[in-house]
Amino acid sequence: MIGRLRGTLISKQPPWLLVEVGGVGYELEAPMSTIYDLPQTGKEVTLLTHYAVKEDSVALYGFLHESERASFRNLLKVSGIGAKTALAVLSGVSTQDFARLVQAGDVVALTKIPGIGKKTAERIVVELRDRVDGLGASMPGLAAAPGAPADPAAEATVALQQLGYKPAEVSRLVQKVAEQGDSAETIIRKALRAALGS
């Protein structure tokens, strides 16, 4: 699986990007939120990726921030939402605003995003409310610039969610155990000990 690419940005033709890495050109689809923040063509760029394999196709999606990729992956888990719709959502609203709308259950505002009807908006709220709670709490740290060190608490939050812990539980655990100066690994160890001890 391809999780990250660092190379030269060759072209931007929304929603498509071409990034050359070691002489190989990777075509990626990206939301407008990522495309707006990309450097000029010819410059180096680092993108987090989501690699999708289907029966008849292989696709690679690129994101500047972990919060965008996490939101994209969460959206793909909602029944009836595919990659095109997930990209449209991220192109139509910031990840922080999206998390806020889902937490508030604001179906009307969600339907203003291109490609989202009332029933889809209702499914998003029902299926993502718990997942977005944890993501929303950690978004400011996740939105660090590429190449900049991520917030250790945010890194730990994402890692624990990937281990299968519920976002609300992860958020509570990380807030409980994280101390100033702790690395992501230390926070994860402490949180796992706390979860097993409880």
- Domain boundary residue, one of 43, 63, 83: 63
How many domains in the chain?
2
Q: What is the CATH number of the domain that holds 45?
A: 2.40.50.140
Q: Residue 50 and residue 75: Cα distance in Å, rounded?
A: 13
- Domain boundary among the residues 63, 82, 114 is at 63
Q: Name the domain boundary from 63, 86, 114.
A: 63
Record the tokens describing residue 182, joined without a space. 């702790």
Q: Is residue 93 part of a domain?
A: no
Distance CA 56, CA 108 (A): 35
Return the structure tokens found at 104: 């508030």
Domain that holds residue 160: 151-198
Q: pLDDT truncated to tens, each residue of the chain (198 aa)?
A: 789 999 999 999 888 999 999 999 999 999 988 988 999 999 999 999 999 988 888 999 999 999 999 999 999 999 889 999 999 888 888 888 888 889 888 899 888 887 788 999 999 998 888 777 555 443 333 333 333 345 777 777 776 766 666 777 778 888 888 887 888 778 887 887 787 665
Structural domain includes residue 10:
yes
Note whether residue 193 is domain-resident: yes
pLDDT at residue number 50: 95
135 in any annotated domain:
no
Q: How far apart are CA 34 and CA 90, in angstroms?
A: 9
Cα separation, 153 vs 143, whole angstroms: 13
CA 157 to chain centre: 13
- Least Cα distance to 101 among 74, 120, 129 occurs for 129
Sort strands 16-21 and 24-29 into parallel, antiparallel or unpaired. Answer: antiparallel
The domain that holds 169 is classified in CATH as 1.10.8.10
pLDDT of residue 48: 96
The per-residue pLDDT for 100 is 87
Question: For residue 36, is it within any domain?
Answer: yes
| pLDDT for residue 149 | 40
Q: Is residue 43 part of a domain?
A: yes
Domain assignment of residue 101, yes or no: no
SS3 label, residue 93: coil
User: Is residue 137 assigned to a domain?
Assistant: no
- The total of other beta-carbon atoms located within 10 Å of residue 189's CB is 14
E strand spans, the chain: 4-13, 16-21, 24-29, 44-53, 58-63
